Amino acid sequence: MTLTEQTGLEFGRRLRELRVLAGLTIEGLAEASGVSARAISDMERGRSRTPQPRTVAALSAALGGDTVLGELAKAGRETVTTGRPRMCDLPRRSGHFVGRDDELAAIGKAFEEAASVTVVHGQPGVGKTGLAIRAAELHRELFPDGCFYLDLRGTEPGGGASAGEAQTVLLRALGVSSRQIARGDEERGGQLRAILGQRRCLLILDNAGGEGQVRGLLPGAGSAVVVTSRRVLGGLEAVRRIALAPLPAPAAVELLGGGGGNDGEIARLCGYLPLALRIAANLHDPDRLSDADRRLEMLTPVEAAFAASYAQLPETARTVFRRLAHVPTLSFSAAAAAVVAELDRYDAEDVLEKLLDRGLLQPEGHDRYRFHDLIRLFARARLRAEEPAAVRRRGEKRLIDWYLDTAIASGRVFEPAYGSAPEQWDPAQAWLQAEVDGWFGAMRRAAAAGEHQRVVDVAESLHWYSDRTYSVDPWSAVFTLSRESAERLADRRQEVVHRNYQAWAMSFCDGRYPETVEQAMAAYAMAVELDDRKEQAAALIYAADAYAQMGERGKALELMRRSLELADTVGDHDGYVQTLIGIGATLSGMGRAEEAAEQYRHALQEAARRPLAPAPEFAARVAASVFLTHEYARMERWNETVDAGREALPLAEKFGEPHLLGRTHLALGLAHRARGDHAAARAAFAEAVGQFRRSQVTTEWSAQAEVLHNVPHGPGDGPLFA
């Protein structure tokens, strides 16, 4: 490619960028400027001769007046008269720059060194080029010998500029005549390093496609370099890397610039990507972005940026990428990718790393990956365009079945009939927690497809597991979905069970106590009709819990004792022990600590005496032990608090529910403080605060832990227990 062709392409890219930012089609710009649509199209594609000054002036006037006129006129004059490679001047940034203070500070610190190379990498449209140019503008004084910009075009078909072409352009920009430029790549690289080593320059190497494009352009000393790439460029050594993420929400709203009340939603729909935000700011009706099927169509340059990275992928990677659109959540594991792509786990991981390297995925902790939501829309579009409907249906069904089957198998580990030891629960719990968005999304898709028994089966298998994560997982939505599916099956026995589960979630997870009572008593009436005494007992205990939370503890005790009698009558030993614990909690709320402690001790005795299944027996021992420790602390029986806490703590740690762990550490901290062991008290209060924060639930105990964690621990600190 000649220098004239290069400058023509640069002019065309700039013209197209300004047209898109103005919200104009080619036809619209033709009408506004008087220049033919065919001529504008040829200019944007770099297919035409250099435009005449009057053409540049007409286009500039249509695109915004004097400011734009000056830039386009300069581009035209340089292209026509000098042939100087326009790409080696710093391009003008589009619009104002917001955010990125930490990244700018990191690049600025690197500039202060004698020689530095910084790689800014991230997904298409995230603002890598804008960041590099802004950094150059802020620190021009550090580079008295000039700042030079070169677009390596690494995302273009064929990989863009070769190392030799790039060396030649840079040497010309640095004042070396054509006759003096060495012929071989190695010799040109040495020549470039020698010149840069004697000067203090800044090179911005934009859009690098790989290490090979960059390595021969790096100075050994003297000058600084900023490389932008969608790839990490892990093969480059002794470089700083800055992984650029989408903008924070406030900066994204600022970039929109309109200050409208809906800017926050528009920023979200743009995925906080600077490129998308700049386009949205110029749309006549940005609210239309809410249409997911048309969003990328309205953000054409964004889609084009994604398409360039997609086109460079090997066929297997393209297949995996588009099929990942089947995943019902933005975050997923390598195992899910292997299922949807029909690959083994190791091959899937290799492909995911390629997608990560190209900026088409983001890492999310160990063994997990995440789509940007706009890239996911692009993957979905490619899936629809490139795979037949029958293939798409099979792929989605395969993935949804995997999520649901694995959720059922994992949830059954916690069922009463399951005989495993608690130590074997951890893998199942880890999968359920990591994949919660996936298996719940799969449940919703199964319900939408009319697979109602599957939905009920998944929720049923997770019933006992739900007790362990009631403070963090979406159980109200899960059991609402399963109750609705049971209704559609017209199976009243399943419906009453899942109506009870929904009542539990309304109370324990959402705190919707009046609705809980209504739901639980509707389940009770249905259970009476069916003569199902076990479900009658369950409905009464859920209603009682809600009454207790609303302060009607007398009513709660009445219902609990009725529930206890029913559970005993039908031999529901698991329910019987759980109800004893509920009675203890109600008595505790009434200030009857000694009676509450007696109920917890009774529950522990009955759990040991009655034939409980392993899972509920363990859950009962955990709850009763933790609550007993709590009651001893309330009564300021500190030695018993410590003894009970030492038994409760390992059980609570194995159970893994953070709120119960927080309560145990809080009680132990109070006991240690009262007994004068202030170091142990401080450690216990700190652990309590950490666990309560993990639980994401604010209670009187979590508030007290925060206070105690932040006060001195010595004699006369104030009340020991709220």
pLDDT at 64 over 90: no
CB-facing half-sphere around the CA of 132: CA atoms within 13 A: 32
- Specify if 259 maps to a domain: yes
Strand partners, 331: 370
**What angle do the packed helices 37-44 and 3-21 form, to 10 degrees?**
120
How far is residue 562's CA from residue 429's CA, in Å, rounded to a whole number?
Answer: 34
Are 520 and 543 spatial neighbours (Cβ–Cβ below 8 Å)? yes
Strand partners, 229: 121, 208
> For 450-455, what is the mean pLDDT?
96
- Nearest by Cα to 395 from 326, 449, 344, 441: 326
Residue 228 maps to which CATH number? 3.40.50.300
Domain count, the chain: 5
Are residues 614 and 705 both part of a single domain?
yes
> For 184-207, what is the mean pLDDT?
90
Per the structure, the complete domain to which residue 364 belongs is given by 313-386
- Specify if 72 maps to a domain: yes
Residue 7 maps to which CATH number? 1.10.260.40
pLDDT at 235 over 90: no
- Band (pLDDT 50/70/90 cuts) for residue 84 is very low
Residue given tokens 């990191």 in the structure block? 106
Please classify residue 73 by burial: count the beta carbons closer than 10 Å to its beta carbon, then call 0-12 exposed, 13-18 middle and 19+ buried.
Answer: middle
Are 563 and 537 spatial neighbours (Cβ–Cβ below 8 Å)? yes
Strands 368-370 and 331-333 turn out to be antiparallel
- Specify if 669 maps to a domain: yes
Please give the C-alpha separations between residue 366 and each of 244, 349, 420, in angstroms, as whole numbers: 19, 12, 27
Question: Which of 271, 287, 307 is at the close of a domain?
Answer: 307
Are residues 167 and 222 both part of a single domain?
yes
- Specify if 410 maps to a domain: no
List pLDDT tens digits, range 518-536.
Answer: 999 999 999 999 999 999 9
Are residues 36 and 119 both part of a single domain?
no
What pLDDT sits at residue 471?
Answer: 61
Are residues 286 and 328 both part of a single domain?
no
Please give the C-alpha separations between residue 244 and each of 71, 312, 499, 504, 656, in angstroms, as whole numbers: 28, 21, 47, 43, 35
Q: How many CB atoms lie within 10 A of CB 56?
A: 25
Q: What is the pTM of this model?
A: 0.69
Are residues 133 and 71 both part of a single domain?
no
Are residues 40 and 113 both part of a single domain?
no
Task: For residue 681, give both structure tokens.
Answer: 């008290």
CB-facing half-sphere around the CA of 318: CA atoms within 13 A: 16
For residue 310, which amino acid is it? Y
Question: Which of 350, 367, 386 is at the close of a domain?
Answer: 386
Task: For residue 289, give both structure tokens.
Answer: 């972005």
How far is residue 603's CA from residue 293's CA, in Å, rounded to a whole number?
Answer: 57
Are residues 61 and 178 both part of a single domain?
no
- Specify if 430 maps to a domain: no
Are residues 672 and 697 both part of a single domain?
yes
What pLDDT sits at residue 584?
Answer: 95
List pLDDT tens digits, range 104-153.
Answer: 999 999 988 767 899 999 999 999 999 999 999 888 888 888 899 998 98
Are residues 33 and 132 both part of a single domain?
no
Alpha helices in 217-270 (DSSP H): 249-256, 263-269
Please give the C-alpha separations between residue 374 and each of 53, 314, 330, 489, in angstroms, as whole numbers: 39, 21, 10, 37
Handedness of CA 229, 233, 236, 238 (dihedral sign): positive
- Specify if 286 maps to a domain: yes
- Specify if 670 maps to a domain: yes
Residue given tokens 């690289």 in the structure block? 189
Residue 369 maps to which CATH number? 1.10.10.10
Summary mean pLDDT of the chain: 86
Question: Which of 31, 53, 84 is at the close of a domain?
Answer: 84
- Nearest by Cα to 134 from 286, 242, 296, 261: 242
For residue 562, which amino acid is it? R
Are residues 630 and 683 both part of a single domain?
yes
Are residues 164 and 234 both part of a single domain?
yes
Are residues 705 and 579 both part of a single domain?
yes
List pLDDT tens digits, range 640-651.
Answer: 999 999 999 999
| Residue 32: φ, ψ to 5° | -75, -30
- Specify if 41 maps to a domain: yes
pLDDT at 159 over 70: yes
pLDDT at 81 over 50: no
pLDDT at 563 over 60: yes
